[in-house]
Amino acid sequence: MAKKRFRGLFFNAVLALSLISLVPFVLVGIYFTRANSRILQHEIFQKQQTIASQLSAVVHTYFTRASEYFSVFIDLHTEFGGHSFLNQEDLDYLRQRDNSISYLALLNTSGEQLLSQGELLNPAGYKGFIPGILKSCVQARENYIGQVYFIPQRGWFLLMAFPVYESLAEKRTSGILLVEMDLRKLTQLLAKVYPLEMDAFLVNAQNEIFSHNGFPQNSSDLQVAQSQIQAVRQQLADRMTGEVTLPDGRKWLVSSVDLFLPGWRVYVAQPGNMVHKLLFGDTSHLIWGGLRLFLLMLLFVFVVSHWVIVPITHPLERLRKAALRLREGDDIIRREDVEIPHNEIGDLSEVFLEMAAGLHNRREELLLAQRQLSNSNRELEHRVQERTQELQTAMEELVKKERLATMGQMASIISHEIRNPLAVISNATRLIKMLVKPHDIKVDKQIGIIEDEIKQANSIISEVLGYARSRDLILSAIELNSYLHDILLSYPLPPGIRLEEKLEANPVRVKIDAEEMKQAIRNLITNAVEAMQNQGTLTIGVKTGEHAVCIYVADTGVGVPENIRRKIFAPFFTTKARGTGLGLAVVGKAVSRHQGKLFIRSEEGKGSCFEIYLKIYQKPGDTYYGQGS
């Protein structure tokens, strides 16, 4: 135990302090000189930082008050102005109240100018600011502040924009108040708070000097200050304080503060020898005397250090490097990475190795837990997304079914109440026809019109009932070629329509509700005949693929314009003077109920082609139907 005590740091420290006790004043003097130098430099930086913060506060306060002035004006006008929107008198009033306002404009939410007052001094750059103004004022509903630019011969100007509402409760921006302000008042305010014993600069993101110690800038001063600021910004980079070297070789102690404007900074600087002047003044001879004494003792301290200091610093240095590696993320520290002497430093190294091993284990456990948590979160998000999609689909289907059911009930009631009067009118028409004189042309013509309108009304009622009523499908296997041929035979085509049948040579079967699909195909034929105005070629055809068959109805009519193709299958949408707009809606409903697909190809002036795709019905033993074209 006694042997270890005499080999420990305590014994070595006592021995080292005893050897250097002859020169404590030198070491203490040097230490305190350095400490005072650092303290003075820190205080200089703190003072400069305080001044820079005051200058920043002046700028921030100026911009904030300017913004609040216009925001309060807009709010008061919106609440108590007496009219719902800003007008030319409001712009004239604002311009007269503040002579620093060079330009006012009222814009709409698209950026177009409605009213203006004054002359816009930066028309070229103004257009480039519009997207940012619209994004801030219209989309985010926030004030737009931050475009500061220099106009030759005029000075610096600030561009701001504020959203305008028709009422304070309105959540949508109704317009934008655009303001361009002269910043001479700001430079005057800064001149009052600039320090006389320091250099201060207010610089924008492009290294342009907005203001320098509050004095006017001539060309020579501006060029020198510009080179100084470039050197300061390059050497200081992202640091707030530091010592920099100017282009002429002089050194500056510089402190800086960021402004709320992006890239803008305030720099406050003093000569780099300020610490030396404060510490020593005219007592430089004392430094040389102390330096000579220090050099005499340096050799003595060097000899003692090899015996006492090096055995301490060497293992501590290796321990410091290992600690730095641990701080940077390398938590695997081995015994050979540190030196373990037989003293207190060795004990410290042992504890450090144990701590590093424990930290490594904890980090591995944490990473494993994070991976497990991440996997669980992804799985949970995926499940929630699936359930949400299923719920949304079910809700949409339920709403659709309820709407159809309600429409069916209303259609049944309306058709019942309308068809009864129609039947009475039809019977009365027949009776009148029997009672009138024979060959009365005028009466016969009017009776014919009544009978045609009754038929038209009954047709409309039938279409509404056909679309609104919903019944279960009665599916049966149908041979498609003969099925289509029968439909064409029973459809009365006008004399001016030429029919072309392009059916498949081989039979093909589908499983459909024959009556519902027949009505859909007849509606397509009717639509084609009306599009050709009873004059043209109607083509009915079938194309088969490996698993699906296409039924197409083509005409040579006027075609369907691009802008209404997505609407023609919607219920009650029609472009005809007379019609319910349910013909193609019935087609879409029938195809959807058969789980098929419906497409339209059309070219204006040349005609349209409607295609219905259905799944081929195959029984065991059926052969391959062929490849569709």
Domain annotation covers residue 549:
yes
Strand 113-118, strand 199-203: pairing: unpaired
Evaluate whether 233 touches 269 at the Cβ level (below 8 Å).
no
Q: How far apart are CA 629 and CA 75, in angstroms?
A: 68
Beta bridge partners of 608: 602
pLDDT tens-digit series, residues 538-578: 999 999 888 899 999 999 888 877 777 666 665 655 656 45
Q: Which own/partner pairs from 558-566 qualify as long-range (CB within 8 Å, at least 24 positions apart)?
A: 558/531, 558/604, 558/605, 558/607, 559/531, 559/602, 559/603, 559/604, 559/605, 559/606, 559/607, 559/608, 560/600, 560/602, 560/604, 560/608, 561/604, 562/604, 565/600, 565/602
Separation between Cα atoms, residue 589 and residue 335, nearest integer Å: 79
- Collapsing DSSP to helix, strand or coil, 602 comes out as strand
Q: Is this model's pTM higher than 0.75 or not?
A: no
Residue 314 lies in a domain: no
Q: What is the CATH number of the domain that holds 377?
A: 1.10.287
R_g over Cα of the chain = 46
Per DSSP bridges, beta strands 597-603 and 509-513 are unpaired
Residues 265 and 122 in one domain: yes
CA dist 312 → 8, 9, 292, 316, 476 (Å): 10, 8, 28, 6, 99
Interhelix angle for 184-193 vs 24-80, to 10°?
150
Which residue, 255, 276, 297, sits at the end of a domain?
276
Phi, psi of 461 (to 5 degrees): -60, -40
CA dihedral 54, 60, 64, 67 (to 10 degrees): 150
**228 and 214, same structural domain?**
yes
Q: Let me know whether 485 and 464 are in one domain.
A: no
pLDDT tens, position by position, 49-58: 888 888 888 8
If asked whether residues 589 and 458 sit together in one domain, one would say no
Same domain? For 517 and 575 the reply is yes
Residue-wise DSSP of 284-347: HHHHHHHHHHHHHHHHHHHHHHHHTTHHHHHHHHHHHHHHHHHHTT-----GGGS---SSHHHH
Q: Are 193 and 211 in contact (CB under 8 A)?
A: no
The owner of tokens 């080292």 is: 16
- For residues 112 and 214, state if they share a domain: yes
Q: Total structural domains in the chain?
A: 3
**628 within domain boundaries:** no
What strand order describes the sheet that includes 536-544?
A: 497-502, 536-544, 548-554, 607-615, 597-603
**Which H or E element spans position 176?**
strand 175-182
Which residues form the domain of 422?
333-470
Mean pLDDT of the chain: 77
Q: Which of 33, 603, 7 shows the shortest CA–CA distance to 346?
A: 7
Report whether 198 contacts 130 (CB < 8 A): no
Q: How far apart are CA 395 and CA 421, in angstroms?
A: 40
Residues (pLDDT < 70) of the chain are 1-33, 81-84, 171, 214-219, 221, 276, 278-290, 293-310, 331, 396-417, 419-420, 422, 424, 436-440, 444, 451-453, 455-471, 565-583, 619-629
Classify 270 as helix, strand or coil.
strand
If 0-12 CB within 10 Å is exposed, 13-18 middle and 19+ buried, where does residue 417 land? Answer: exposed
- The last residue of one of the domains, among 245, 276, 307, is 276
DSSP string, 430-489: HHHHHHSPTT-HHHHHHHHHHHHHHHHHHHHHHHHHHHH------EEEEEHHHHHHHHHH
User: Residues 108, 196: one domain?
Assistant: yes
Q: Give yes or no for a contact between 113 and 120, defined as CB atoms under 8 angstroms apart.
A: no
Q: Pick from 421, 437, 470: which residue ends a domain? A: 470
Looking at residue 236, its pLDDT comes to 84
Same domain flag for 515 and 486: yes
269: part of which helix (H) or strand (E)? strand 265-271
Query: Does the residue 629 lie in any domain?
Result: no
- CATH number of the domain that 478 lies in? 3.30.565.10
State in Å, rounded, how far the first CA of the chain is from the last one.
100
Residues 6 or more apart whose Cβ sits within 8 Å of residue 364: none
**Same-domain pairing of 460 and 528:** no
Pairing type for strands 209-212 and 199-203 reads antiparallel
| 300 in a structural domain | no
Q: What is the CATH number of the domain that holds 127?
A: 3.30.450.20
Residues 221 and 249 grouped into a single domain:
yes
Say if 610 falls within a structural domain: yes
Helix (H), strand (E) counts: the chain: 15, 17
d(CA 449, CA 442): 11
Q: How far is CA 494 from CA 300, 343, 528, 576, in A?
A: 125, 115, 12, 19
Residues 495 and 576 in one domain: yes
Nearest Cα neighbor of 109 from 142, 134, 85 is 134
| Domain assignment present for 625 | no
Residue matched to tokens 């209404």: 564
The candidate with the shortest Cα–Cα distance to 551, out of 516, 621, 501, 585, is 501
Q: Which residue has the tokens 């060795």?
A: 346
CA torsion 342-348-353-358 (nearest 10°) is: 140
The predicted structure's pLDDT at residue 9: 47
DSSP 3-state percent helix, strand, coil across the chain (nearest 5): 55, 20, 25
What stretches of 475-559 adopt beta strand conformation (E)? 475-479, 497-502, 509-513, 536-544, 548-554
Residue 23 domain flag: no
Domain check: are 426 and 531 in the same one?
no
